[in-house]
Amino acid sequence: MEVILERAIEFDAESIFNIQVRAFKPLLEKYKDYKTNPANETIDKVIARINRPNGGFYKILVNHTFVGAICVFWKEKTTQFWISPMFILPNYQGKGIAQKTLTLIEKMFPQATSWELATILEEERNCYLYEKTGYIQAGLRKKLNDNTTLVYYKKVL
């Protein structure tokens, strides 16, 4: 299975938006985190991420099929990078694509000294993925509602 990351352009916004909604909708229905779940974002937010001067969206292609995306940005004048969001279509999840994506994105930005992200603590598969790829819990947690807690991860290179 070949995984490639390709920089997104504004033309890709609608496709990214549609995949994002499909990927996050099951979590929205499960956790009811309406204010923070990417399934509830607008296409304007996707466009803003694509055009962000200190980052951007990258399409995740598996055997030339567009299956997801990862957004990366960095804090100005630093080498601290942040991932948010990363998503893969449900029928492509659990196949090692996210793990390969994280490896590829880290290689694309060798100047990074750390990577950070947040995920839902109750989603054990997500936490396992990040821990397996070298991320450790940063100690910060944010309760979104009675069912949902965001946990922050960091990987220092």
- Distance (Å, rounded) from C-alpha 3 to C-alpha 96? 10
pLDDT of residue 60: 98
pLDDT of residue 76: 83
- pTM: predicted TM-score of the whole model, two decimal places: 0.96
CB atoms within 10 A of CB 139: 8
The per-residue pLDDT string of the chain (157 residues; one tens digit each, 9 = 90 and over) reads 999 999 999 999 999 999 999 999 999 999 999 999 999 999 999 999 999 999 999 999 999 999 999 999 998 889 999 999 999 999 999 999 999 999 999 999 999 999 999 999 999 999 999 999 999 999 999 999 999 999 999 999 9
DSSP string, 78-120: S-EEEEEEEEE-GGGTTSSHHHHHHHHHHHH-TT-SEEEEEEE
Count structural domains, the chain.
1
pLDDT of residue 79: 95
Q: Which domain holds residue 54?
A: 3-156
Task: Output the domain CATH number for residue 123.
Answer: 3.40.630.30
- Distance (Å, rounded) from C-alpha 148 to C-alpha 33? 7
- Distance (Å, rounded) from C-alpha 91 to C-alpha 27? 15
pLDDT of residue 130: 98
pLDDT of residue 77: 86
pLDDT of residue 102: 98
Q: Which residue has the tokens 């099951």?
A: 26
Beta bridge mates, 65: 62
